[in-house]
Structure 1
Amino acid sequence: MADIAILETRERALAGILLTGAAYLLFSTQDAAIKLLVAGMTVWQIMFFRSATILIACAAIGGRQLFADTRRSPVVLPMLLRSAFTLAAWLCYYNAARSLQLAELTTVYYAAPIIVTVLSVVLLGEKVPMLRWLAVLIGFAGVFVACDPARLGLSVPVILVLAAALLWGIAIVLLRKTALAERSMIQLLLNNFYFLLFSAVPALLWWQTPSLAQLLLLASIGALGGLAQYFLFEGMKRTPASVLAPLEYTSLLWAFGLGYAIWGDIPRHEVFFGATLIIAAGLLIVGGEHFRKRL
């Protein structure tokens, strides 16, 4: 029985890693679509459309019962706090996207996994083995080598991205607390309901009628964002936040790939070396978790 329990725990942790990795791929694709939109549309309006699209999908999947269960949920107020931090991070990050390249934006932002690991110790009381700390540091070294954030200076956009990293780190730790208390569909509905409320008035004040191409992008952002959030919630249920933190570095690889595909950005040689370090960090954390569960 003990061996079966260990095997189930290990499989659960690995499933959480895979779900979270898929979430960051979807988030990166969403970021590229938002960067295309943000030049001609406010962040508030993009958020409004995204949240509305996700809520419509929740209603189609869960029906009235989902809304009834959500009203009775114990995480209604905790999700409000977490959504406020996520909203603030979102606004900082995507307003900075007006001035920074996708690769630069992603690079500076990747102070977040270290923040998550530290906060998971301070706020959640998680025990973080040295192997995980090593994975986080290797991943961050890879990001630094790939993009050399020192070249960017301490401009307003860079400060906005650093603020986004701190706010997102807090939101992820709060998510770990709420993820265990409620099912993912209810968290998805609450998160986007709050986003819709927060963004409705500013979106209407600075409304710009979208073109057909923009409408298609907005719909894709809703689909990508909804799936990414659901996968992230499910991943957080299965695996500690400090285990998942280094997986955020995989978004850098997607950012460079999407940057090349959409804008023709050609990575420098340093990028490939940095990517190697990032992949090594991800393999280290997955392999370490697999080995630890077998002991």
Structure 2
Amino acid sequence: MFSRSTDEAPSPLVGIALACIGYSLFAIQDAVVKWLVADYAVPQILFIRSVMIVGFSAFFIHRNRHPSILKSPHRSSVLLRAVLMLGAWLSYYSAARHLGLAEITTMYFSAPVITVVLSIFILRENVGPIRWLACIGGFIGVVLAADPAEAPSLIPAGMVFFAGFCWAWSTILVRLVSRTESTVNQMLATGVLFTVVCGAALPFVWKTPDLFGWTLMIGLGCISAAGQYILYEGFRYAPASTLAPIEYSGLIWAFLYGYLIWAEIPTLNVVAGAVLIVGSSLILIWWERRLVIMSRRRLTA
């Protein structure tokens, strides 16, 4: 498990690296859900996924004897974050039934921009021009790569924007709560809420999976647990506004998995958008590395 000593300064570069790995796993998660949602209801998929995450979290909480989340001074923020995550997941994957991948990807990636804005007002983070440029540049790259062909339906589009807002707000809360709460405690709280709410819908939506369906759903739970843990750990090392543009790297992974699984070959506009997204992320990494070097020089001066 990732850890750092209390006297060691957090490194944004570590946070960026962890976020890149976490978002790559989320891209696999989205590919698996895309496969499953054609045959199974979203609450059923989320229920089995959440049961796996609860089991993973409970095991490590018991093993490492983490204090109960009920005793946390931030338990209300943890609960709010769980509610936001539930709203984001239900809205996003329900809208996926009605929108094309290009449309839903473009609209959902408004989330990093919302994260930067919320980080100013909620976390009081200092968002400089480089972070703003990286975030905006990444969003332009997403629009260029996705290239929506026609106007989307109003209600599903609103659901995607709502999901993006919920995800952005939950990202801010991860940064806030992670100052005092362990990652697995946060995962357990979210997983329990998902399990209870989605479990209540099972009598109305349940469809017994075949062997392949069970394999995908259990695998989804494992991938989601790993992705969440790694990403949330990343927020311990870097500000939310710094990691917001890194979320765009998930689009690159989506293109890669699309090619490997469905033999989808990116078009020229997709390649151009990917270059802009990667370039924005590289500029951000260069800037954060420069800040780290300057900070160390001040300490040793």
Tell me the distance in 2 between the aligned counterparts of 1:130 and 1:67: 39
Larger deviation, residues 242-251 vs 40-49: 40-49
Q: What is the alpha-carbon distance in structure 2 between the residues aligned to residue 75 and residue 211 of structure 1? A: 41
| Alpha-carbon separation, structure 2, partners of 1:70 and 1:8 | 26
Matched, 1:201 2:200: yes
Check the 8 A contact 2:175/2:235 in 1, yes or no: yes
Which residue matches 1:264?
263
Structure 1 stretch displaced more, 100-109 or 40-49: 100-109
Separation in structure 1 between the aligned mates of residue 248 and residue 192 of structure 2, nearest angstrom: 29
Counterparts of 1:14 and 1:201, CA distance in 2: 42
Q: CA 1:291 to 1:245, structure 2 compared with 1: closer, same or farther past 3 Å?
A: same
Amino acid across the alignment from 2:15: G
Contact 2:44–2:206 (Cα < 8 Å) also in 1: yes
Q: Matched residues in 2 for 1:154 and 1:118: separation?
A: 27
SS at match of 1:125: coil
- On the 8 A contact 1:54/1:192 being kept in 2, the answer is yes
Of the structure 1 ranges 252-261 and 85-94, higher mean CA displacement relative to structure 2 is found in 252-261
1:115-174 deviation digits (Å, cap 9, x = unpaired): 000110011111101000010111111111111236343543322212211111111112
CA contact (8 A) 2:81 2:170 kept: yes
Distance in 2, matches of 1:27 and 1:274, equals 20
User: Which whole-Å deviations, capped at 9, do the CAs of 1:203-251 have from their partners, x for residues lacking one?
Assistant: 2331111111111111111111111111121111111000000001001
- Whether the aligned pair in 2 keeps the contact of 1:108 and 1:149 (CA below 8 Å) is no
Residue correspondence of structure 1 range 270-285 to structure 2 within 5 A: 270-285=269-284
Once the two structures are superposed, residues 47-88 of structure 1 have per-residue CA deviations (whole angstroms, 9 ceiling, x without a partner) of: 110110111222333337647633433333221111111111
Residue by residue, what CA displacement relative to the aligned partner does 1:19-43 show, whole Å, maximum 9, x if unpaired?
1111111111001101111111111
- The equivalences for 1:122-271 within 5 A come to 122-149=121-148, 151-271=150-270
Decide whether aligned partners of structure 1 residues 133 and 44 sit closer, same or farther in structure 2, where only a CA change above 3 A counts: same
- Which ranges of structure 1 fall in alignment gaps of 5 or more residues? 1-6
Change (3 A) 1:105 1:153: closer
Matched letter for residue 21 of structure 1: C
Structure 1 residues 100 and 254: CA distance shift in structure 2, 3 A: farther
* Equivalent in the alignment of 1:3: none
3-state SS of 2:23 partner? helix
Aligned residues with identical type, % of pairs: 39
1-side partners of 2:54 and 2:253: how far apart? 27
Distance (whole Å) between structure 1 residues aligned to residue 64 and residue 257 of structure 2: 39
In structure 1, C-alpha distance between the alignment counterparts of 2:106 and 2:100, rounded to whole Å: 10
Give the deviation of 1:276 after TM superposition. 0.3
How far the C-alpha of 1:260 sits from its partner, in A, is 2.5
- Per the normalisation by structure 1, the TM-score is 0.91
TM-fit CA distance, 1:197: 1.6
Aligned to 2:96: 97
Higher mean C-alpha deviation, range 154-163 or range 264-273: 154-163
Change (3 A) 1:66 1:52: farther
Amino acid at match of 1:287: W
Change (3 A) 1:28 1:234: same
Q: Encode CA deviations 1:233-278: one digit per residue, 9 max, x unaligned.
A: 1111111000000001001111122222333332210000100000
Name the residue aligned to 1:27.
26
CA contact (8 A) 1:115 1:169 kept: yes
Q: Would the alpha carbon gap of residues 192 and 282 (structure 1) be closer, same or farther in structure 2, given more than 3 Å must change?
A: same
Map of 2:87 onto structure 1:
88
Is the contact made by 1:107 and 1:252 (CA closer than 8 Å) also made in structure 2? Answer: no
| Deviation at residue 182 of structure 1 after TM alignment | 0.6
Equivalent residue of 2:236, what SS?
helix
Aligned residues: 288
Secondary structure of the equivalent of 1:74? coil
Q: Distance in 2 between matches of 1:164 and 1:110?
A: 10
**Could you tell me which amino acid in structure 2 is paired with residue 178 of structure 1?**
V
3-state secondary structure, aligned to 2:11: helix
- Name 1:4's counterpart in structure 2: none
Q: Secondary structure at the match of 2:125?
A: coil
